Structure 1
Amino acid sequence: MKRLKKHTKLLIILAAAALLAGATIYLFPPAPRVPPETEFTLMDGSKVTLQSLRGRPVLVSFWATTCPPCVEELPDLIQLYRDLRPQGFELIAVAMPYDPPLQVQDFVQRHNVPYPIAIDVQGKVTSAFGGVPYVPTAFIIAPNGKTELTYTGRLDMAKARRIISRYLKDPGA
């Protein structure tokens, strides 16, 4: 009987550890060391690459017009962009492939979104970033091109600001 209790406790501990490991991977997927070289097609038809943005911190934000957390974090992203852009920060928001371009354009105009919006109709950008199964998902990319943070869910703005600020130019310089 005593031996059975020990085995039961061990099985419970192992099951809990497996669940915790699975939840950790699900909630905090590992960030790619270097994001793939990606070309973004912006709403105005122009193109920008991650390579062209090297030398400054970049936030790539995947979102959808029908995603409540994406809409909720929009004012924070706009403020982040306005505050940090003059110091060298860049933000590119990528509309998910299932979002109709005209709906995205209308949404961006209605909400006066000041940062570049990429349209990913063919899903090439989302595929390049690992499929991006959930929105919002954000990637903070350091000036050297390496991913500093991958975040799924409404972005922790304080954490994002701390990471981005390490790479910004001194506004008084």
Structure 2
Amino acid sequence: MIEKISRFAILFLAAPWCALTASAQGASLDKGAVLTHFDQAARDGYRAYSAAPANRAFAIAPGGAWAWVSGADLQEQAEIQALDACRAHTEQPCQLYSVNDQVVFDAAAWSASWDLHMSAAAATEAPMGTGRGQRFPDLALKAPDGRKVALSALRGKPVVVHFWGSWCPPCQVEFPDLQKFYNALTKDDSAAFVLVQGHEPIAKSRRWAQRRGFTMPLYDSGQKGRGNDTFTLADGTVLNDRRLAGVYPTTYVLDANGLVVFRLDGPGKEWEQYEGMIRHIAAEGAR
């Protein structure tokens, strides 16, 4: 037990994490020297951490969860507490970013953090759901060429499943960045993208995207308007769409076995931050 903790903070943010520096103490966040792609709350949190008493530790996770602890009796205690606090707010693996005055971020471990280390045989026994390590529901869709297709037909590589609608302002704002992410990962066939419209006919979705030059594959969910609130699975089961997309947009990353490795409710920022993670699970799935 840590009895002396002078500062303790936990926040969950939508901003991804990246960039490194050799020293945590006295670094200039305003010049982007420590961590980039942070919102102001995260910048303030890291600045407070940098000025806090030792022993202290700062932990992070993909998707934006972070936590820090200071004033522990031992450095090891601060590390454990920071990791535990981070894990309490995310399904994603947490890792240490900084300990006292030293950045200890492990870029290789970060890229590998979406690897579930599960065989294809074991994946078939995973429960169906939308949590990390669960088997994502096998949606029945129509491909852009009109063919009926089950989502499971795309297994063998990572799949980015994105629920959106042209009526959704955050979806519209996110689309250019998502297009860049798509371009980067599909130029060498590292991942598949499945964009699924909600609460509007697919013709409207495609018309909106085509007029703006977006080329991502838009799959038809079968929904025709705001009165529709279900998705159909390959076995004929019907799910309320809120079970998969409580907000729009909602994005999932599935591994080569169709298991959820990452979920983001709401729009993402700078999706290319996750490119290394997807390439890692693509390489693992090809073995």
Amino acid at match of 2:160: L
CA distance in 2, matches of 1:101, 1:143: 27
Alignment correspondent of 1:168: 282
Q: TM-score, length-normalised on structure 2?
A: 0.44
Cα deviation for residue 78 of structure 1 reads 0.9
Amino acid at match of 1:88: S
Contact 2:180–2:272 (CA under 8 A) maintained in structure 1: no
Cα deviation for residue 108 of structure 1 reads 2.0
CA distance in 1, matches of 2:278, 2:221: 25
Aligned residues: 142
Cα deviation digits, residues 97-156 of structure 1 (max 9, x gap): x21333212112112222211222343259377241210000100012110011101124
Secondary structure of the residue that 1:165 maps to in structure 2? helix
Q: Larger relative contact order (C-alpha < 8 A, sep ≥ 6)?
A: 1
Alignment correspondent of 1:31: 131
Runs of at least 5 residues in structure 1 that lack an aligned partner in the other structure: 1-23
Q: Percent identity?
A: 26
CA distance in 1, matches of 2:207, 2:222: 16
Amino acid at match of 2:279: S
Amino acid at match of 2:251: A
- Bigger radius of gyration among the two: 2
Alignment correspondent of 2:259: 146
Secondary structure of the residue that 1:106 maps to in structure 2? helix
Aligned runs of 1:39-118 on 2, under 5 Å?
A: 39-85=140-186, 86-96=188-198, 98-118=199-219
Cα deviation for residue 58 of structure 1 reads 0.4
Amino acid at match of 1:49: A
Secondary structure of the residue that 1:166 maps to in structure 2? helix
CA distance in 1, matches of 2:220, 2:158: 21
CA distance in 1, matches of 2:272, 2:144: 29
Secondary structure of the residue that 2:281 maps to in structure 1? coil
CA distance in 2, matches of 1:149, 1:74: 19
CA distance in 2, matches of 1:64, 1:48: 20
Q: TM-score, length-normalised on structure 1?
A: 0.71
Cα deviation digits, residues 52-108 of structure 1 (max 9, x gap): 211101000000101111111111111111111124211110000x21333212112
Contact 1:43–1:105 (CA under 8 A) maintained in structure 2: no
Alignment correspondent of 1:137: 250
Alignment correspondent of 1:11: none
Alignment correspondent of 2:239: 127
